Structure 1
């Protein structure tokens, strides 16, 4: 090494001279010396090395540094500050951030870093610049801040940098620099295969940043992103060699802990919790505290597939979050839980199969106008046809499908069937249900435009039903969805009104055409005074807003007569007939 102060000189040797050697011995020694000439090796691959004392600022460079970096005067890089003065301004923070952290300091092994930046060896105003890859480790002082760094700097070209960018884009999460979800799942799949083969246990942990929503709302999304990235770094610094970390979702990380049983998983979890809890996180907005919860599963003992591993870890994470903000729970199998998961998996497979094989069907239930006694509108109710021809009601598969993210596919298929039916029967008015996910699905609206081809008559004969609980949870998004539908010419109804977050003040803001009163307020309306008060209030409100009303679950003549007298616009229920298959529909006089 050559320090900035001693550049160009080397201390004279004080070692005693060896005894004379034979010619062959001298040749062997010469070959060995050539093979171990590290400076020559570094130069051949355009690399040089340094040792940086951050306390004094002094940087000692290998003797080939001037040639590799193109620095004419070694004093220009003899200190950390002098070296940083030659780094392109837009890249300077990349290197400074490496040596500004205290999280994860390891007194024995040091903290690794690996960065890229541009250096202008003849000054920032010079056109000459080199692209460098800087890789090394730093060691902390008593205060936990970096005190000593050892590293290697290598000249790289644009092709290499582009390859690195492509690798990072394919493998790493952009925000945290950890594996992205795809690569994390691929790593988990490989580990599962290995554990089955080797007979060794591993742990998969799911980590959630608990207070992220509060941070985002209070300090902004940038502060939230900074917290996520720092938590990822802290957790990674506490991993052992061979362990894997990846970002699973917005506020969740997945960890693969090699050769890890239940006791070791608990120990590791406490280590990760401490790494996040014990020190605040510096962000551009403020110094913040964060908390994490962890759920884990042991593989292959408790799970033998990627899907089961993730599901069980998420289940354990929910249990941990129900206890406190910095807790760990290990998955515990239960016959009831396993039964539910098996049932949900079976339903999901059945739904996907039915969609692929065109086994979704519509049945029609009439909405009878109280003014005429005729079925002016039909509600399209979805049914799933089993391979044996029997039909499954929507209530038995739609809730599970929504939880598993299949509702958008179901809604699009229901839309296709509904439009097909409307085209076949020009006099038919049809009411179609959509899930909460569809209210934010631009593809569903695009499908509506494409299937109807802008036919105003066809669109006017469609009523889109949105469940009240969904509508009022995301009031702004729902309002935009409703406005778009009405611009296209559709009518919109709020379904099951009164079943959830009944909010009369928000009803008008949605600008819907129809309100469907939840059947729970209808079935006993003749005998229940409270139901009568609710329906009376609902009708007065709807009339003042110019909305039509539908009473669901009308099951007998007494209820029908009461509702007619009360002024309900439409009645729907088994009293007016069971749902019929759409293929059996015929125009009624």
Structure 2
């Protein structure tokens, strides 16, 4: 219904209303021509005096003396003065039968009072509110009825004016003036009827179309009507009602300003798009500012002062708008611009006519074009411009509809409309193809394609009073094929009457997403879960696991290094297959690292889990893995935890505990699996490690760290030097001490060794410097640095900065570097060693013999000493080959100019083996367990800590011997 009404109004506005306005205009042209033949009154000569002072005049008749020497004229310009004007005239002799009236026609006259100069009697007065005596309102001004006795008498009048008034007086017969007054009233009615009807219909059009343009044009028509009424002097009335005299001047002032602003605004609204293509915009900007300025000045500036700038701005505005209309016509050939240009031209002619009338009192166009016809003609042409704009807009809408329909039909996305519940009323070819591919016979209803959820949600969307949008994904089963397809469905509605839907095949995207989700939770090589997928799977299973095993393949890195990653990948695949062959369907297997696997057991007991893990270990080690012509043998280490002891621990905590057990198994060559069933000590150790990890992950130094020191005794002069290695411990709040192994393993496992080493080195350096005067016999203090710290650029920079600040402590410091770390990047490590020694420190190679020992690289690393790994020293007493190796190392080190230190000197036989092999220093429980810094400061040599009398006697014999093995540790800054 709304569309029908809108279309009807559009057609009326486009065709009927302009035709009516054109007919009225032609009629007014004829009426204007006929009106011009109406008898005009005879102009009388008048003398005028302007009263410039404000002194009240007691006897108006006495003012005639001021008019004696005034010249006579038929019309006098007030020059917009608001002062009272006095004028006199002689009443001509007329016909008594017809009656004689004197008309004062100025529409700017606010009131008039007249006297008979012969008798001094007041003839009458009027001010548009009330009339007295013989004076009454007449057309736009006033008229004086002349009694027969006054014929040829002299009449004196006083009048006030507002605006560009002309003072004049005309002699009329009663019949002629009556006809002129009737014509004047008809003119006002014609203006309001012609333009008012057009404004009413345009207002309806604006409401129906919700158009700001049409609404602005309604305001323009109303203002145009008031301007025409002002021009002919009928603005004393509005829609048949008299305007109070006190509001007349403000209404005229606001009418002029609003008309100017509305004209500029309407021009902008009509040609907003076209004006963007015009390069010169500053004149139009000035015009906008002028229109705003007049609206601001209207309530504060007097009417007479506002008129001259408003006239000038109006003329300039017409010129500027005409120029822009010309530019728009030249660029776009717009018919809207043509109609509007004609309206502007007609307005310009009418304005010039009014200015000329105001200046000379003569009309340029005596026939046809007058104020009324100009106003109605201008409104008609502006209506035609708006109608053309409406037609253009309608054509654009039709074109947009055609384009939209073409896009609807050509869209690769399936489009359909739902009406009357679930009925599919309209579809496009893409939708038809989708439906045909699914093998659906019917497609007229939602239930033919979609499940109940889709139907329900679209139904709820239809019930929304304010409309809405919904988006969802749905799977549609094919009726002919076994597979299904995924679609993205988007539905929207404005009022619930029609639901517009789009259907897009997203099967490929869904498959890709599912693949990505699979890869995010699975290992692409073996198909096992990864750690993320394992966590998600265990969260999905509500049952709590009974056990968790952590597996780590031994020596797997050698396969990748020697035969490439392709071979390693094939081995991993075969390892996975062997594991799966043992597991139950409820067990969950995951690969969480390069060669690390986790199995979560959900059924059975811990003994059952242990049996499965032993079977897996046996299968891995029993038969080699065959890759083409190559065979690879592997062992596996495992840690198994039962979950009864970890009731409040999440999966990551269980994995961490099993990992810790697996690391313990790797350190036990004869035991490939460590099982934790109920071991309070292990639980406590694991908790300690977790607390450390949490602290280190936050980047914080653990509270409770402290230092202990283990002496290293010299075989040359055991009672003359006090040398020792600094070791770290952690004291918990309950007083228990966490060993160094737990601290270092936790830090190394999470790459946080720099935090521990930073504290150890810093604390040691400050302690040495604080007690340097008590450490006079100390030649070196060993401090071990882990590989993770040495590979941390920030840590090494802080380390050297610390050394520069504490040179005294650095003289005694010996940095111990693990052998496996040193040979990883020998060039980088040699640079580090050279820099430490250049600053005055010493560097030792720790755990020599534990890794890939090679005497060849010793010539590449200019360290100060070697510390033999305990595995070489421990069995040297029992195994002759072990003694031979120690002897060889001792001789080599001595020839290279280095010192040597033997660890694990637990008893006298081991100490004697080290002495006989030429080792320089011994360290172990046979000498002393780690002691506190206070005990170190209280001793004078490393021999002071020996408790075993036999060992002490042995070292006393060495001290007294003149054939000591070697001199004491020399200064590292040697040639």
**TM-score, length basis structure 2:** 0.33
- Higher helix content, 1 or 2: 2
Larger Cα-atom Rg:
2
Q: Which has the higher contact order (CA 8 A, sep 6+)?
A: 1
